[in-house]
């Protein structure tokens, strides 16, 4: 398995490279966006680890240009961790996202998960019942109706749709969408779910977002 690391911080690049080589990957490194894009297009990597803040060409620009030609899985690294950044990253075609600082074990786990994913499941359109969620264009429709969502509503919908059929607890949703861990005030999730529901479910006969009393929420098509 060949991995390309595009990271301008030399210490970080060599740390990641060393770790991946110990895990038996073949690793190339590029230290700016232009070089990274060149290698990514020129060579056939199984995965690319791409930092967002890069000289010459930033990571998101690299990603957009890469996506115009290739589907190589990309794990995006960034210093910031906000819903907006995640959405922008995923919109640009990243397959996963890791905010710095991160534990090396988590980095390796994400890489392994991405490599296990069959290419067709890196699909950019998720479907639940008659709802289609286009992750690249950030468009949602149910049947012929286009649904407009805020960035946060979209992040919430994406999480639920990616794990359709699974009951997600409020605490889990909070940690994934808001990057917070709190057990006491999970009301924020209920409020967000209510807003999302008003857009994706209320106008339609068939409901896709269900409350599981005492547990959380699940998205699925029910007969
Ligand atoms: Ca950087």
User: What pLDDT, on the 0 to 100 scale, is given for residue 138?
Assistant: 84
* Mean pLDDT confidence for 82-100: 78
Residue 119, pLDDT > 60, answer no
Q: Which of 40, 39, 34, 101 is nearest to 73 (CA)?
A: 40
User: If you measure from the C-alpha of residue 9 to the centroid of ligand 1, how many angstroms do you get, rounded to a whole number?
Assistant: 6
Round to whole Å and give the CA distance between 145 and 65: 31
User: If you measure from the C-alpha of residue 94 to the centroid of ligand 1, how many angstroms do you get, rounded to a whole number?
Assistant: 16
User: If you measure from the C-alpha of residue 114 to the centroid of ligand 1, how many angstroms do you get, rounded to a whole number?
Assistant: 22
Report DSSP state, residue 80. Answer: -
Residue 53, pLDDT > 60, answer yes
Q: Which two tokens stand for residue 183?
A: 């057990």
Q: Which of 55, 56, 54, 106 is nearest to 79 (CA)?
A: 54
What residues form DSSP beta bridges with 96? Answer: 75
User: If you measure from the C-alpha of residue 31 to the centroid of ligand 1, how many angstroms do you get, rounded to a whole number?
Assistant: 9
pTM score of the predicted model: 0.55
* Mean pLDDT confidence for 89-97: 81
User: If you measure from the C-alpha of residue 53 to the centroid of ligand 1, how many angstroms do you get, rounded to a whole number?
Assistant: 4
Burial 147-179 (b: 16+ CB within 10 A, else e): bebebbbbbbbbbbbeeeeeebebebbbebbbe
What residues form DSSP beta bridges with 78? Answer: 99
User: If you measure from the C-alpha of residue 8 to the centroid of ligand 1, how many angstroms do you get, rounded to a whole number?
Assistant: 5
User: If you measure from the C-alpha of residue 7 to the centroid of ligand 1, how many angstroms do you get, rounded to a whole number?
Assistant: 6
């Amino acid at each position: 398995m060949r991995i390309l690391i595009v990271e301008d911080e030399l210490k970080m690049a060599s740390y990641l490279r060393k770790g991946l080589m110990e895990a038996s990957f073949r690793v190339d490194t590029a230290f700016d966006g232009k070089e990274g894009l060149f290698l990514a297009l020129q060579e056939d990597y199984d995965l690319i680890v791409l930092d967002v803040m890069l000289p010459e060409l930033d990571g998101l620009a690299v990603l957009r240009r890469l996506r115009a030609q290739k589907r190589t899985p990309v794990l995006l690294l960034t210093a910031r961790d906000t819903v907006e950044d995640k959405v922008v990253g995923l919109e640009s075609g990243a397959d996963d996202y890791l905010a710095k600082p991160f534990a090396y074990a988590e980095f390796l786990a994400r890489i392994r998960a991405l490599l296990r994913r069959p290419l067709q499941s890196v699909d950019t359109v998720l479907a639940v019942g008659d709802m289609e969620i286009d992750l690249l264009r950030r468009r949602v429709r149910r049947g012929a109706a286009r649904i407009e969502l805020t960035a946060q509503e979209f992040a919430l919908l994406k999480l639920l749709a990616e794990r359709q059929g699974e009951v997600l607890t409020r605490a889990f949703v909070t940690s994934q969408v808001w990057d917070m861990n709190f057990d006491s005030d999970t009301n924020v999730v209920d409020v967000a779910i209510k807003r999302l529901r008003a857009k994706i479910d209320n106008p339609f006969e068939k409901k896709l977002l269900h409350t599981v009393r005492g547990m959380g929420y699940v998205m699925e098509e029910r007969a």
